[in-house]
Amino acid sequence: AGNSGFDKDTVTSVPRTIGNPASCKNSLGVGASHRGLDVHGKEADYLAAFSSRGPTADDRMKPDLVAPGVSIHTAYAHEDGKTVQISGTSYAAPVVAGNAALVRQYFEDGNLPCSWANNSCNMNPSGSL
């Protein structure tokens, strides 16, 4: 979805910051979620402040999905054996893609929500599933 959802000058999240391609009608926009404390001190999941957000120019709600994208522990590319914590929607999108691949494989393996008793249903999911 992008990382343009936060205005550093006003220190607030800004609506209508989602851009192309995430705002396109037939695309799946992925935002970053953040686990933090709510106003009552309880843990809750939120759309990360930096994550771009809708609505789009034609008032559709975006992002479509969110996944963890704040303080992700990952390898540091410039030094062997070192890791860093980093944030961004670029870390949320692979989580969604990996889960989509697992769902597609689940269906390919014949685990379908129909006639479980006699295994009478088949499915060859398309690449878009």
| Structure-model confidence comparison of residues 10 and 115, the more confident one | 10
* Cβ atoms within 10 Å, residue 81: 6
Give first-to-last CA distance, the chain, whole Å: 20
Which pLDDT value is given to residue 70? 92
Average pLDDT score over the chain: 85
Which pLDDT value is given to residue 61? 92
Give the SS3 label for residue 42.
coil
Using one digit for the tens of pLDDT, what is the confidence trace for 67-84?
999 999 999 989 999 999
Distance CA 72, CA 39 (A): 24
Structural tokens at position 109? 């393996």
Which pLDDT value is given to residue 122? 62
Q: pTM value? A: 0.75
Give the SS3 label for residue 7.
strand
Q: State phi, psi for 91 to the nearest 5 degrees.
A: -95, -20
Give the SS3 label for residue 13.
strand
Banded pLDDT at 37 (limits 50, 70, 90): confident
